[in-house]
Chains A and B, each alone.
Chain A
Amino acid sequence: MEKESSTGRKAVSAEQSVSQTRSMKKILSGDSIFKGITICFALSILFILLLMVYEMGRESFPSIRQFGLKFITSSTWDAVAEDFGALPFIYGSVISSLLALLLATPLSVGTAIFVTEISQKRIGGIISALVELLAAIPSVIYGLWGVLVMAPWLQRSVQPFLIDHFGYLPFFQGAPYGVSMMAAVIILMIMIVPIITSISKEVLMAIPQSQREAAVALGATRWEMIRMAVLPYGRSGILGAVILGLGRAIGETMAVTMVIGNTPQISLSLLSPAYTMPSVIANEFAETTTRMHSAALMEIGLILLAVTLLVNVLARLLVWSVTRGTAGGGRIQ
């Protein structure tokens, strides 16, 4: 995309230096009108983003001024007393996303390795298609399944088991509610596996075949080849895929809201209900009564936006560092 437009620009400027009249004609041609329109569209996206940040900053200003840094260190969330601290939501978002990532990463990278390095092409294709199908399921469906099927199952069998056998650990204490941090982690894990898998797959497919041959020619087995040539080469790209999954997990709203229990508390126990930043915004925004309440929600939104933008930019850079130069990420033979 970028390459195309920059060469296009070069072509136009060359044309201008050749002949003024010809370039006049060129400007009015369908091609350049179309290009102008698409550039406007592209710029408008950037403009909308900036406008959004500005508006959110303005709207949240009362809260920023009133609470300052205390906003992210305090655990009080009291709409009546107009005292707001976002720590439980930040905690809930960070912990649920990181734990989901911890579970999803080995699963996803393992799947990507299986599909690109081990399985036959046809079987690999079927598995990739199935995994990508997971990404197409609307998040409310995940939430519905989570709250109707998974949470009761957790409450009935998994959580009592954990309490009985691992109850001495701080992570498995309290009553089995079903809806809990644990439920959110599992749902998020399922939801981010497709993105991590498919991007890791792209990264692995972009690794030159000559790297694999180098390892095999030294007498590496298939597994040694993966460990020696494939994974180190794709390291930063896979890290990018993982961080992209993190971005997705942090921003996920619907499914998490339905299964996490929506209780603003900080508890080490995975069995306790918790709350996340997107969930509190979605739940409370329609019923704010005071200016300060909506400003506090806006500030949470601002934090969320900043975190997800940062995470996404970092991830794209890492993925790009591996897949650049291979259009579409195809395997070089």
Chain B
Amino acid sequence: MGIKLKLEGVNVFFGNNRAVKDVNIDFHANMVTAIIGPSGCGKSTVLRSINRMHDMVPSARVTGKILLDQTDIYEKNADPVSIRRRIGMVFQKPNPFPAMSIYDNVIAGYKLNGRANRQESDEIVEGSLKRVALWDEVKDRLKKSAMELSGGQQQRLCIARTIAVRPEVILMDEPCSALDPIATAKIEELINELKEQYTVAIVTHNMQQAARVSDYTAFLYLGELIEFDRTGKIFTNPEKKHTEDYITGRFG
């Protein structure tokens, strides 16, 4: 399997504060890569640099290279909008558009590409909702507000909205942290299925989750990448003492 996405010497600054220091991570195609580490260590910041989310923060600056299929997404003439269509993102708190129906939420991103005809839209909505196992729960109320759904359903709706755009990479920033255990189990199952089609990067502060869903794991501490390896290796036989301490819960 090839490497879909490659972080080379990535630094992220907020003003003069260097929040991410010289991080190198390879994201393998059709695999799930987890980013773990204590709160505030820069997990979200790394993830958000991958789809140029920091463009929205005036004080933020990213240096280094992020190669998507060998092309640097921070290149001078790279277009952030088309990059974000190739690299989708799911956020910590479910954030459906409250003024839109379930149907319109799913198709919202896809419609940005241009006008979609009715039949095409219907197919995409149905396909995306089936993909996230939400179709049976909502097929009779597609025109209802997305706010009527439970938190777990909303998060699956947000994932459906993301895959409706047909991205190549999906970034997830603690997608289960606002959910109950049953909803969490459903999302984890979904992540497992998603990797057949997509390259997935997931931030989590839950180590059991990282162990369950990921193929590779990156451990970050204070903005630095401490260790990156196969998940099995990280959790059973890490190279660094620091990683082992964190995995075994000796700090964090």
On A, residues with C-beta under 8 Å from B are 120-121, 208, 210-221, 224, 228-229, 232-233, 235
B81 A221 Cβ-Cβ under 8 A:
yes
**A178, B161: Cα distance in complex, Å:** 56
A219 B56 Cβ-Cβ under 8 A:
no
**A213, B44: Cα distance in complex, Å:** 13
**A76, B84: Cα distance in complex, Å:** 66
Task: Please give me the 9 A-B residue pairs with the lowest Cβ-Cβ distance, nearest first.
Answer: A218-B109, A232-B99, A219-B85, A217-B89, A210-B95, A214-B95, A219-B84, A219-B81, A221-B81
Number of A-B pairs, beta carbon distance below 8 Å:
64
Interface membership of B165, Cβ < 8 A: yes
Given known A-B contacts A219-B112, A220-B112, A229-B97, A214 and B85 have beta carbons under 8 A apart: no
User: Which single member of A210, A217, A228 contacts B93 (CB below 8 Å)?
Assistant: A210
A210 B97 Cβ-Cβ under 8 A:
no
B165 A233 Cβ-Cβ under 8 A:
no
Given known A-B contacts A218-B112, A219-B85, A224-B112, A213 and B56 have beta carbons under 8 A apart: yes
- For residue A216, which residues in chain B have a CB less than 8 angstroms away from its CB? 53, 56, 84
Residue of B nearest to A221 (CB): B81
A218 B165 Cβ-Cβ under 8 A:
yes
- For residue A212, which residues in chain B have a CB less than 8 angstroms away from its CB? 56
Report A231 CB to chain B, min CB distance, Å: 9
The size of the chain B interface, using a CB distance under 8 A, is 26
User: Which single member of A120, A214, A215, A217 contacts B51 (CB below 8 Å)?
Assistant: A217
B108 A228 Cβ-Cβ under 8 A:
yes
- For residue B99, which residues in chain A have a CB less than 8 angstroms away from its CB? 232-233, 235
A218 B162 Cβ-Cβ under 8 A:
yes
- Apart from A217-B51, A218-B161, list 15 A-B contacts with CB within 8 A: A212-B56, A213-B89, A214-B97, A214-B158, A217-B53, A217-B88, A217-B91, A218-B88, A219-B82, A219-B84, A219-B109, A219-B112, A224-B112, A228-B97, A233-B98
8 A Cβ contacts from B67-116 to A: 81-82, 84-85, 88-89, 91, 93, 95-100, 108-109, 112-113
A219 B165 Cβ-Cβ under 8 A:
yes
Given known A-B contacts A229-B97, A235-B99, A210 and B91 have beta carbons under 8 A apart: yes
Interface membership of B2, Cβ < 8 A: no
- For residue B88, which residues in chain A have a CB less than 8 angstroms away from its CB? 217-218
B84 A214 Cβ-Cβ under 8 A:
no
**A120, B161: Cα distance in complex, Å:** 30
- For residue B158, which residues in chain A have a CB less than 8 angstroms away from its CB? 214
- For residue A221, which residues in chain B have a CB less than 8 angstroms away from its CB? 81
B95 A218 Cβ-Cβ under 8 A:
no
On B, residues with C-beta under 8 Å from A are 51, 53, 56, 58, 81-82, 84-85, 88-89, 91, 93, 95-100, 108-109, 112-113, 158, 161-162, 165
Main secondary structure on A side of the interface with B:
helix
- For residue B51, which residues in chain A have a CB less than 8 angstroms away from its CB? 217
Report A196 CB to chain B, min CB distance, Å: 21
Report B107 CB to chain A, min CB distance, Å: 11
- For residue A235, which residues in chain B have a CB less than 8 angstroms away from its CB? 99
Report B113 CB to chain A, min CB distance, Å: 8
- For residue A218, which residues in chain B have a CB less than 8 angstroms away from its CB? 84-85, 88, 108-109, 112, 161-162, 165
Q: List 17 A-B contacts (CB under 8 A).
A: A121-B58, A213-B89, A213-B95, A216-B53, A216-B56, A216-B84, A217-B88, A217-B91, A218-B84, A218-B88, A218-B109, A219-B81, A220-B81, A221-B81, A232-B100, A233-B99, A235-B99
- For residue A219, which residues in chain B have a CB less than 8 angstroms away from its CB? 81-82, 84-85, 109, 112-113, 165
Report B157 CB to chain A, min CB distance, Å: 11
- For residue B53, which residues in chain A have a CB less than 8 angstroms away from its CB? 213, 216-217
- For residue B113, which residues in chain A have a CB less than 8 angstroms away from its CB? 219
Report B49 CB to chain A, min CB distance, Å: 13
- For residue B93, which residues in chain A have a CB less than 8 angstroms away from its CB? 210
Report B191 CB to chain A, min CB distance, Å: 17
**A224, B109: Cα distance in complex, Å:** 10
Report A213 CB to chain B, min CB distance, Å: 7
**A121, B109: Cα distance in complex, Å:** 28
**A118, B181: Cα distance in complex, Å:** 40
**A217, B84: Cα distance in complex, Å:** 6
Report B139 CB to chain A, min CB distance, Å: 23
Report A272 CB to chain B, min CB distance, Å: 42
Report B52 CB to chain A, min CB distance, Å: 9
- For residue A224, which residues in chain B have a CB less than 8 angstroms away from its CB? 112
- For residue B97, which residues in chain A have a CB less than 8 angstroms away from its CB? 211, 214-215, 228-229, 232-233
Residue of A nearest to B88 (CB): A217
**A219, B81: Cα distance in complex, Å:** 5
